Structure 1
Amino acid sequence: MKDKFVVTIAGGGSTYTPGIVLMLLENMDRFPIKEIRLYDNNAERQGLLGEACRIMVSESHPGVAFSYTTDPQAAFTDVDFVMAHIRVGLYEMREKDEKIPLKYGVVGQETCGPGGIAYGMRSIAGVLELVDYMEQYSPNAWMLNYSNPAAIVAEATRQLRPTSKIINICDMPVAIEGIFADILGLASRKDMNVRYYGLNHFGWWTSITDKAGNDLMPALKKHVAEHGYCSQTEDFQHKAPSWIATFKKAKDLFALDPQTLPNTYLKYYFYPDYEVEHSDPNFTRANEIVIGREKEVFDMARHIVERKSAREAHFHAGAHATFIVDLACAIAFNTQERMLLIVENNGAIANFDETAMVEVPCLVGANGPEPLAMGRIPSFQKGLMEQQVAVEKLVVEAWMEGSYQKLWQALTLSKTVPSASVAKAILDELIEANRDYWPELR
């Protein structure tokens, strides 16, 4: 076992990167770092954040080597972990993913419906490229992949890189479990044991207990039936308005199946008419982020670089960062920690497609994740999941085969799209918008 680890963060120009760097530094006692490298194919975007992070690392942990580069060989040689969170097309393309469907009265969202499909068609090549760099230069490394849309990316890596040491993860369940802990008055989500099943951004909690085995679901359900996932903590009140609305909507999601607690992304599939009606086709989440988090993070980086000091600067390290460090620790030190991950089903859900990439609790150690059995699932969830997993598989097949037909089928099958004719109109416009990113479709 190594004493210290070399980590490459792929997507070094992401606004989440400073938070991950900060979290790595704050957790040196349990996950010692020898070196941190940033990698991005966008030198300009990475340059500012990279320089700010270099200053931050040199001031707080001068013994940790730090670099940022656009050279794959320099970034990926002799590393232990690659933490990937790339956004192919940046927010310019996310804006199109959201606004094009809305023109046709369809949900405009970055990982759900047509927007998620468009993003998936861009992301596949980018993630495969990172996997190949890692395998070429550090064949024993693990990739911990946050890149969205995680469900489509996971299906693509399952089919096209079946032996790769890549684990696809999502922090949304982690963030929701943090809210559950707040609602229950617990210190941390780690004070709970959960059972959960589904696809990424498409799942349900079936059991939540404390460490002594006491059932916490009745108290949670009572709160959710009245308030959704809204809590009274100060941190919750500071969330973006769009997120507060999302957490309120959990009340209506819960009403459909009061036996379980739902992932918030299900709102796009259960109430698409409501989502479209409450969306501004001229100002979507992409615009909100550009004037919000994007501006804040890059302004802070600029401030650090100009002052040549990060001592009075503050980057935020949220659930996104903490979860990825937990996962790295579990692999590095064979802790067998229980974590929600996206893995091939292989019987974890007994009455569901063996090859589906499902999101379930896993025990994680040096050899990766070992899924826990969630048993059989009810007809309601099973039917929804079968429809959605078919969409994801069709998208990957369309990318592999360059098939217009299969991508049209994927859009038509999505629960957010009302008809094949609407699916075709959206698809044709998305093809035009993504000419620089998608494979040619025939």
Structure 2
Amino acid sequence: MDNQKFSVLIAGGGSTYTPGIVMTLLEHLDKFPLRQLKFYDNDGERQKKIADACAILVHERAPEIRFLATTDPEKAFTDVDFVMAQIRVGKYAMRSLDEKIPLKHGVVGQETTGPGGIAYGLRSIPGVIGLVDYMEKYSPNAWMLNYSNPAAIVAEATRRFRPKSQIINICDMPIAIMDRMAKIVGLSGRNDLVFRYYGLNHFGWWTDVRDKSGKDLMPQLKQYVAKNGYWLGDKEPGKEKSWISTYKKAADVYALDPTTLPNTYLKYYLYPNYVVEHADRNYTRTDEVEAGREKTVFTECARVVKNKTASDVLFQASNHATYIVDLCTAIAYDTKQRLLAIIPNEGAISNIDPEAMVEVPCLFGANGPERLAMGPAATFQKGLITEQNCVEKLVVDAFEEKSYTKLWEAMSLCKIVPDATVAHEILDDLIVANKDFWPELS
């Protein structure tokens, strides 16, 4: 790609994250100029509430950008350079069941890990594959940056079913943690860090973090995380209760291996009893989101539309959207920037299955990601990665073969689930809940 202006499609235009992405795109037009911005969603009513406000925002701040929101795949996917995919199949109603059904059985209820993540994964696979097919049909040279959850299962499915597609599976959780790391050591942001990281999505470890001069920041970070986790305390007032707990719990996760720094999601695998004991089975993360971000975003969109101006809009650019812009810029201008992605291992972690979809640093350019070698995983990490990778492969096997047994095996193998009997009970409840989304299993 040369120095052109780009056409971007946000697939999942009705997401509450969409306004933050739009704000980020508008703030970075100097390095990633746009000629067109589109929204696509299969829920036109939900998308319209977001799109009407964003149309005002784009018109006021960058009137040269053509804006379109549609539920028509052909209109959406025709003439685009980048697709930013953030769909949630089943919406929050199904997310709530993903969380509450496992908790009913005394098991962690979380949208991307354990039984809830498996349930969500089976719903997400056909949705994301459908987006890939639309892109290849209408804009075959485009790139898709997919951060639809659960990214690990979706990545395994796209590797298997669409191996030649220009889809890059990404996650913003390590990005958010690295922004915290930067604040801990007094730097401005994650792009000031040079890092080594390996694992699976929501299942990884930093083995080295330095500043751009080469100074080793690991000792300072370890000292902080051992005491505080990744919680920044008074520097982030108003943070949701569930995230405060997650960031603080990183201290206990770190204690298991003080040679590395962990991803926060490891708490669900390593301390599942703690998570269940501190969970409210009647008010989970979904309820928190609906009462918080969901309500706030839609209220603000309605205010902008009513006032017919976004001059005083409260939306802000988001960290995860900044990461997406970095990825687009690196591909568009062949910058070879070092960024994380979920890609086939192929030796990046030398003692892990070559076909595992691992999360490692890559150099991004015009041809996409070039994985960097992270060496062998330590014994502790190798054991955890191998087990979890097999869970993810079994889920995709179950989807492909419509196999009850494979899905039961996946849930039984998952470290979060205590035994096969409990896995069986949860699975049967999830089958009933997902009858409109899952393939019929036999």
Which TM bucket (shorter chain)? over 0.9
Equivalent in the alignment of 1:41? 42
Q: Distance in 2 between matches of 1:214 and 1:312?
A: 42
Corresponding residue of 1:265: 265
C-alpha displacement of 1:233 = 5.5
Q: Distance in 2 between matches of 1:2 and 1:220?
A: 39
CA contact (8 A) 2:24 2:316 kept: no
2: CA distance, partners of 1:166 / 1:241: 34
2:248 alignment partner in structure 1: 248
1:182 touches 1:233 (CA, 8 Å); kept in 2?
no
TM-score, normalized by length of structure 1?
0.99
Aligned partners of 1:210 and 1:333: how far apart in 2? Answer: 24
How far apart are the structure 1 equivalents of 2:4 and 2:380? 48
Displacement of 1:224: 0.9
* Over 6 Å off, 4+ runs: none
1:127 corresponds to? 128
Alignment partners' CA distance in 1, 2:191 and 2:351? 29
Indicate the residue corresponding to 2:109 in structure 1: 108
For residue 383 of structure 1, give the secondary structure of its aligned residue in structure 2: helix
Q: Aligned equivalents of 1:427 and 1:135: distance in 2?
A: 34
Distance 1:51 1:189 in 2: 33
Taking the aligned partners of 1:34 and 1:419, their CA distance within structure 2 comes to: 54
- Give the residue type in structure 2 aligned to 1:307: N
Preserved contact between residue 156 and residue 357 of structure 2 (Cα < 8 Å): yes
Q: Kindly indicate whether residue 298 of structure 2 is the aligned counterpart of residue 274 of structure 1.
A: no
Q: Does 1:239 align with 2:221?
A: no
Please give the secondary structure, in 1, of the residue aligned with 2:54: helix
Query: Alpha-carbon deviations, 1:405-438, whole Å to 9, x = none?
Result: 0000000000000010000000000000000111
Amino acid at match of 2:432: E
Paired with 2:416 and 2:246, the residues of 1 have a C-alpha distance of 17
Q: Where do 1:15-164 residues align within 5 Å?
A: 15-164=16-165
1:317 Cα shift?
2.1
1:205-354 mapped onto 2 (5 Å cutoff): 205-232=206-233, 234=235, 236-354=236-354
Local SS of the residue matching 1:264: coil
**Is 1:411 aligned to 2:418, yes or no?**
no
The equivalent of 1:176 in structure 2 is: 177
Whether the 8 Å CA contact 1:22–1:317 is kept in 2: the answer is yes
- Provide the C-alpha distance between the structure 1 equivalents of 2:274 and 2:314, rounded to a whole number of angstroms: 37
Q: What is the deviation of 1:3?
A: 1.4
Alignment partner, residue 427 of structure 1: 427
Indicate the SS of the match to 1:152. Answer: helix
TM superposition shift of 1:231: 1.7
Report the number of matched residues.
441
The amino acid that maps onto 1:428 is D
Which residue pairs with 2:373 in the alignment?
373
Cα distance, 1:316 vs. partner?
Answer: 2.6
| Offset of residue 67 of structure 1 | 0.7
User: Residues 361 and 372 of structure 2 are in contact (CA less than 8 Å); yes or no, is this contact kept in structure 1?
Assistant: yes
For residues 348 and 293 of structure 1, the distance between their equivalents in structure 2, rounded to whole angstroms, comes to: 37
SS in 1 for 2:163: coil
Q: Does 1:357 align with 2:357?
A: yes
Any idea what the Cα deviations from partners look like across 1:383-421, whole Å, max 9, x if unmatched?
A: 000000000000001001100000000000000000100
The amino acid of 2:306's aligned partner reads: E
TM-score between the two structures when normalised by the length of structure 2: 0.99
Question: What's the counterpart of residue 196 of structure 2?
Answer: 195
User: Percent identity over the alignment?
Assistant: 63
Structure 1, 133-142 or 318-327: larger mean CA deviation: 318-327
User: Within 2, Cα distance between the matches of 1:317 and 1:294?
Assistant: 17
| Structure 2 residues not aligned, in runs of 5+ | none
| Residues 98, 110 of structure 2: 8 Å contact kept | yes
The Cα RMSD (Å) is 0.7
